[in-house]
């Protein structure tokens, strides 16, 4: 009886390591630095979240499918630049939709290129998506002439951007409400639809997926399109938060997104994962960064800590496979 209870407890602990890590991080940091649980800091944490949740959500589907996407850097940068530059000619709604649509188009182009050249393993995909990111970033540099675009200089209203960046409904940020709606939709898509379930099958065993009649290339294009759309949404939320757009604004988000996905328990081998757990991974990564800032750790030490968290997460992922 005691062995059964111990085994269940161990299994439950292993399956909820992210949640345990979040609780432990909050408790320890609150004891060391009481400012951590102040309303001002919690508001700051909420602002620091965006645009990472959108990007990590898209990356989750790519990794479940057994691939990786380094092109999010270029997609965020170019989508943000386009959204900011089109406020005057198209208005703010047209600009936002254009940024998101462009993200989806770039994601589909990534999937089309990968399936056309026959890239079906992560090593090939990694370098090709890195190359696509360089192309998108270069286009953004050409469009802006390497200058910073500021939405405050727009002659037309940009109140929707302002609402996404700092607006609230009561105590709840507008962007959080938008994201939660998208999160529910994507969770239902992954769990309840044939296309969503086929992503897991593709990531677990591409040959088996092909033999059972699934169109692997179509599923591959689908996951990259989702990643592109989420990157476009992330770009719009980033522009709304910082009120500027640059051709290099996406730098660093690809590694943070991968970190959140892996910490959230999605296997780098593909085949299984959870969008809900990815959001716990996002929360852990953002809280960790906030804690290190409050404790006065240098940027270099913070980089070391993030790297250590990623290594531990991959090690735990491999242990689960044993």
Q: How far apart are CA 272 and CA 180, in angstroms?
A: 22
pLDDT in tens, 295-305: 888 888 888 88
Rounded to 5 degrees, φ, ψ at 218 are -65, -40
Q: Measured in whole angstroms, how far is the alpha carbon of residue 34 from the centre of its chain?
A: 30
Alpha helices, DSSP H only, in the chain? 2-15, 17-32, 39-49, 52-64, 72-85, 87-117, 122-144, 159-166, 174-192, 194-204, 206-211, 216-242, 253-263, 275-294, 299-321
Q: What pLDDT is attached to residue 35?
A: 85
Residue 173 belongs to what H/E stretch? strand 172-173
As a whole-number percent, the residues of the chain with pLDDT over 90 amount to 55
Confidence category of residue 204, pLDDT binned at 50, 70, 90? confident
Confidence category of residue 74, pLDDT binned at 50, 70, 90? very high
Confidence category of residue 24, pLDDT binned at 50, 70, 90? confident
In this prediction, residues 281-288 reach a mean pLDDT of 90
Q: What pLDDT is attached to residue 17?
A: 75
| Nearest CA-CA partner of 143 in 103, 229, 85 | 85
pLDDT in tens, 147-158: 999 999 999 999
Confidence category of residue 13, pLDDT binned at 50, 70, 90? low
| Nearest CA-CA partner of 49 in 212, 180, 152 | 180
φ/ψ bin of 148: left (φ > 0), alpha (ψ from -120 to 50), beta (otherwise)? beta
Burial of 217 (0-12, 13-18, 19+ CB in 10 A): middle
Mean per-residue pLDDT of the chain: 89
Are the C-beta atoms of residues 18 and 284 closer than 8 Å to each other?
A: yes
Q: How far apart are CA 74 and CA 138, in angstroms?
A: 8
Domain ranges, ordered by start, for the chain: 37-251
Q: How far apart are CA 19 and CA 189, in angstroms?
A: 24
CA atoms within 13 A on the CB side of 106: 36
Q: How far apart are CA 302 and CA 297, in angstroms?
A: 7
Q: Given a cut of 80, is residue 199 above it in pLDDT?
A: yes
Q: How far apart are CA 101 and CA 105, in angstroms?
A: 6
Q: Is 245 helix (H, G, I), strand (E, B) or coil?
A: strand
Alpha helices, DSSP H only, in 193-298? 194-204, 206-211, 216-242, 253-263, 275-294
Query: Which is more confidently placed, 111 or 308?
Result: 111
- Residues 6 or more apart in contact with residue 155 via CB below 8 angstroms: 88
Q: 52: how many CB neighbours lie within 10 A of its CB? A: 24
- Residues 6 or more apart in contact with residue 221 via CB below 8 angstroms: 108, 111, 112, 115
Q: How far apart are CA 188 and CA 193, in angstroms?
A: 7
């Amino acid at each position: 009886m005691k062995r059964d209870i111990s085994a269940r407890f161990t299994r439950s602990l292993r399956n909820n390591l992210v949640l345990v890590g979040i609780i432990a991080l909050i408790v320890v940091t609150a004891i060391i630095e009481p400012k951590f649980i102040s309303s001002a800091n919690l508001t700051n944490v909420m602002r620091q979240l965006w645009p990472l949740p959108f990007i990590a959500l898209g990356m989750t589907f790519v990794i479940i499918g057994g691939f990786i996407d380094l092109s999010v850097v270029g997609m965020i940068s170019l989508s943000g630049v386009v959204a900011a530059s089109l406020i005057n000619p198209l208005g703010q709604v047209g600009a936002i939709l254009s940024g998101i649509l462009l993200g989806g188009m770039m994601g589909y182009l990534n999937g089309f290129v990968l399936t056309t050249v026959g890239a079906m393993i992560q090593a090939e995909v990694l370098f090709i998506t890195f190359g696509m990111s360089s192309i998108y970033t270069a286009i953004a540099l050409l469009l802006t002439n390497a200058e910073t675009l500021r939405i405050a200089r727009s002659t037309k209203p940009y109140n929707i951007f302002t609402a996404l960046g700092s607006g609230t409904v009561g105590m709840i940020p507008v962007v959080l409400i938008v994201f939660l709606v998208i999160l529910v939709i994507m969770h239902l898509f992954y769990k309840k639809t044939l296309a969503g379930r086929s992503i897991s099958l593709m990531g677990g065993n591409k040959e088996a997926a092909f033999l059972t009649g699934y169109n692997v290339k179509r599923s591959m294009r689908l996951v990259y399109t989702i990643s592109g759309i989420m990157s476009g949404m992330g770009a719009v939320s980033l522009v709304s938060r910082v009120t500027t757009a640059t051709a290099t604004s996406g730098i660093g988000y690809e590694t943070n997104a991968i970190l959140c996905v892996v910490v959230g328990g999605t296997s780098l081998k593909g085949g299984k994962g959870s969008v809900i757990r990815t959001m716990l991974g996002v929360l852990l990564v953002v809280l960790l960064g906030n804690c290190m800032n409050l404790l006065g750790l240098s940027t270099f030490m913070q980089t070391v800590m993030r790297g250590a968290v990623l290594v531990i997460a991959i090690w735990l992922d491999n242990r689960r496979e044993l």
